[in-house]
Amino acid sequence: MSRISSDVHKELMSADDLKSIRSYAESIAIPLINIEHKVDALKIGENLSNYRGQGMEFDENRAYQIGDHQRQINWRLYAKTQSLYSKVYTEERKPEAFIVVDRRATMRFATQKQLKVTLAAKIGLCYAYYAQYHSINIGACIINKELHWLPENNQGNAIHWLENQLSAPAPPLAFSTEQISLHSVLSQLLFRIKPGSHVIILSDFLDINTNTSDSTISQLAHKHSVEAIQILDPAESQLTISEYVKIVDEAEHAQFSIDVSDKSIQEEFNAQQAQKQIELHDFFTNRGVRHSLHMTSKELSECIGGAYAR
């Protein structure tokens, strides 16, 4: 399977592409970014959010959850009920969106239409343009060979920074090159972004370990509204190629071929991939994370939702 473009040093998106994405983002008519808050006025800046920790006004008691600070525990209620409850406060704060885009080796692949990293960039920028249009603060983390962080802010330079980072060429990366794990990035998010944010994670999630990342994902979903947007190439979910495919195992410095035209091999592969998708979807949704899957064969409007546009 080969890349779809021979010009690996070409920018992923042109100026016209960026203009088109911005126009589409500003046409989306329903809330794309979900900041969990209570609103007592329509103006941005007067939104009350369930911000855990010190707040302005007591809102309610709710059952204690792992990760709650002991200062939040309602000890008086515990004395009466012998059950732990945490106090939830509300405070006035501006909504924030935090966008994580995976640009590691496995994202620099495609057999149809566009690289996985290209579709991730388009979706990420769509969220960013939407946030800017609606005066929502923007932060970001771009996962390359190194991590690149953008603290939450709503200035024009945030958009410019994202455009440059996400449009940058994405030539192939050797899988033997040391890669930053997605788990380590998610762990850092717990300490880098403010509670109550809307976190959008764009990745293929191929290296996610549901056992290792269980606690981290649960804590993220507890503190934020989290979306896991998975991007795959069609060849990664449905094997339909009628030829031999050469496999390169860089770790073992070996090559071998598989006859993927064999119907039994195709059926086994497709069944395994379908089961993996079910397990990953259940993993995210059972922890309060919204999970969606998009293929590189799709247009941006199909991923974000054509019905959302005015």
C-alpha distances in Å from residue 236, one per residue of 92, 94, 102, 270, 295? 45, 40, 17, 9, 9
pLDDT, one tens digit per residue, over 56-103 is: 567 678 888 776 777 788 888 888 888 888 887 655 456 689 999 999
- More confident of the two residues 153 and 139: 139
Q: Is the pLDDT of residue 196 over 90?
A: no
Q: Mark out the alpha helices in 49-176 (DSSP H runs).
A: 75-81, 116-133, 156-167
Stretch 29-55: mean pLDDT, rounded?
A: 52
List the chain domain ranges.
15-34+94-308, 52-92
Cα–Cα dist 40/93, whole Å: 12
Sheet holding 57-63, edge to edge: 37-39, 47-50, 85-92, 57-63
pLDDT at 237: 80
pLDDT of 51: 44
Which helix (H) or strand (E) element contains residue 88?
strand 85-92
Res. 221: pLDDT tops 50: yes
Quick one: pLDDT at residue 231? 97
Q: What pLDDT score does 90 carry?
A: 58
Among 70-74, 185-189, 244-248, the least confident range: 244-248
Higher pLDDT, 115 or 41: 115
Q: Do 204 and 109 contact (CB within 8 A), yes or no?
A: no
| Residue 192 confidence (pLDDT) above 70 | yes
Q: Is the pLDDT of residue 106 over 80?
A: yes
- Residue 174 tokens read as 């050797």
Say how far apart CA 85 and CA 81 lie, in whole Å: 9
Using alpha carbons only, what angle is made at residue 267 by residues 265 and 273, rounded to the nearest 5 degrees?
100
Q: What is the pLDDT of residue 178?
A: 83
More confident call, 285 vs 173: 285
Class of domain 15-34+94-308: alpha beta
